[in-house]
Structure 1
Amino acid sequence: MPTEETAPPVTAFMLIKTRPEWLAMTPRERMDAFATEIVPAIKAKTTGVRSRFYDTEFYSTRVTDVWVWEADDHEAYQLLIDALRETPFWDRYFDVVDLLVGTENGYARTYGFEPVATVTT
């Protein structure tokens, strides 16, 4: 039985910079705001998205954090962005400096090659 090929997930590297309103909150207030204002909006608007956070303020003044999103498809990603724009995350707590969106190993799928990756042991 042939397997159905699925579209690759969409990966977005969201480069953000904290704003004074976010930094003025205590760490507990930040986590509470995130849990009560941002996460519920995301859950209400979309499914099939996952995220990871990276702190970069130690090395960059232009971008303080990178939020990596993986969405099952382009529609889930678009719904995610719409949801975030309706929360204080967007332009109140953070400036979105840039969005770098792609799919992993797109070149390999396009040309029928095995993906190239490095592995160290």
Structure 2
Amino acid sequence: MPAETTAPPVTAFMLIKTRPEWLAMTPQERVNAFTSQVIPAIKAKTTGVRSRFYDTEFYSTRVTDVWVWEADDHDAYQLLIDALRETPFWDRYFEVVDLLVGAENGYARTYGLDPVATLST
């Protein structure tokens, strides 16, 4: 019997730029806004999403942050975006400059190959 395969997680690289309203807040006010307005909306709409945040304003003026979202599947990702759009995150605190969405090692899965990647020693 062949092994069951599962769909790979959907990974989205969300390129964003902070807006003046976000920057006018203190760091604690930013944390409070995110934890009281954004996180509850995400939890109410979807499950199976994880995030990581990268500051890029030191190197870029067009994109100040890259938020990496990983969703268990495309439905969870779509619900995530719907949830974010209903919060001040979307177009009030941040401008979403671009979304780059993909599945890790999709080419290898498509062609039945082992992924090619570098490893640190």
Q: 2:49, 2:28 → 1: CA distance?
A: 25
Deviations 1:22-49 (A, max 9, x none): 0000000000000000000000000000
Q: Structure 2: how far apart are the matches of 1:29 and 1:3?
A: 49
Q: What amino acid maps onto 2:89 in structure 1?
A: F
Paired residue type of 1:6? T
Aligned length: 121
Q: Measure how far apart 1:3 and its partner are.
A: 3.1
Q: Which residue of 1 aligns with 2:18?
A: 18
- Provide the aligned C-alpha RMSD in A: 0.8
C-alpha distance in structure 2 between counterparts of 1:4 and 1:40, whole Å: 34
Kindly provide the amino acid, as one letter, of the partner of residue 81 in structure 1: I
Aligned-residue offset at 1:4: 1.6
Q: Distance in 2 between matches of 1:99 and 1:26?
A: 27
Q: Partners in 1 of 2:27 and 2:69 — Cα distance?
A: 23
> Distance in 1 between the 2:2 and 2:34 partners?
43
TM-score by length of 2: 0.98
Alignment of 1:69-108 (within 5 A): 69-108=69-108
Unpaired segments of 5 or more residues in structure 2? Answer: none
SS of match in other structure, 1:113: coil
Displacement of 1:90: 0.1
Equivalent residue letter for 1:89: F
- Give runs of ≥4 in structure 1 deviating > 6 Å: none
Q: Secondary structure at the match of 1:31?
A: helix
**1:110 partnered with 2:110:** yes
Percent of matched pairs sharing the same residue: 86
Residues 49-94 of structure 1: CA deviation (Å, up to 9, x unaligned)? 0000000000000000000000000000000000000000000000
Alignment-derived partner of residue 41 in structure 2: 41
